[in-house]
Structure formats: C-alpha cells, structure tokens
Amino acid sequence: MSEVVNESGFEPTGDLVLVLPPKIETTTASGIAIPQSVIDKEQISCRVAVVIAMGEQAPLHPRMKGIEVGQKVLIPRYVQDRWVVGGDMYYILRAESVHGRVTKIPDYEMNAPVRAKEGPFGVNT
C-alpha cells in the first residue's frame, strides 16, 4: 500500500471520513473524448474509494473497525458530500456510511479507469 497524502485541504472532524474514488477515463481506447457530463456521472456513482483521512471519532465506529487510512472501502452511492480540489473529487461521509474494507475491486467499478503505474488504486495518480 502506498503512502497516502491528504492534498484536499480538508481535515475531517468527529465521525467524518474523507475518501478519494478512482479517476475516470476522459477518452475511449480509440481516442474519442468522453463528454464531461458522463465522466461526472460515473465519478459520482462510484462506490469504491480510498480512505484519505478520518476524524478523531471515525475509527471508533463499529463499521470502521480495522480500516485504516490508505485502504479501499465500499461506500453507498449518493450519500456523500463532494469536495473538489485541483481536479480531484473527494467525498466526505460519515463513518456509519462505510460498508467495509475492499480487498478486490468489482469489475463494474472499473469500467474505464485511468491507467497508471502507481496510486492507491494502482490505476490513478
């Protein structure tokens, strides 16, 4: 697991958790640009994200047991606040909204990930 650095400019407090979903491809394999509205919709509906930071009470919640910064988690769709900084869309949600740790990314989550050598997903930087 690579070192996770919080570059969002947001420090969660209480039971809040800051997560970062994977970036979505902006072009198809054949080079056709994907409309921004489609990219945004795909990004917002993503259910797997990496924990970037936690408020002081978040690790104490039963759903966060054993989950640490840098690990992938499953989150429900559309329950988070969005925090966009430097082109990256972070999600802010309550610890109770985290379903659990993810050890394998489901195929449906990674229809069009950005390919890169490093990053918390192994697909984005």
Its CATH class, for the domain covering 16-110, is mainly beta
3-state secondary structure of 38: helix
pTM score over 0.85: no
Q: Rounded to an integer, what distance in angstroms lies between the CA atom of residue 59 and that of residue 56?
A: 7
16-20 vs 100-101, strand pairing mode: unpaired
Residues in contact with 92: Cβ distance below 8 Å, sequence separation at least 6, in sequence order: 10, 12, 16, 17, 18, 80, 81, 82, 83
Tens-digit pLDDT string for the chain (125 aa): 558 899 999 999 999 999 998 877 888 888 999 898 887 777 777 788 999 999 999 999 999 999 999 999 999 887 788 899 998 889 999 999 999 999 887 766 554 444 444 555 554 44
Q: Rounded to an integer, what distance in angstroms lies between the CA atom of residue 53 and that of residue 64?
A: 12
Total residue length of the chain: 125
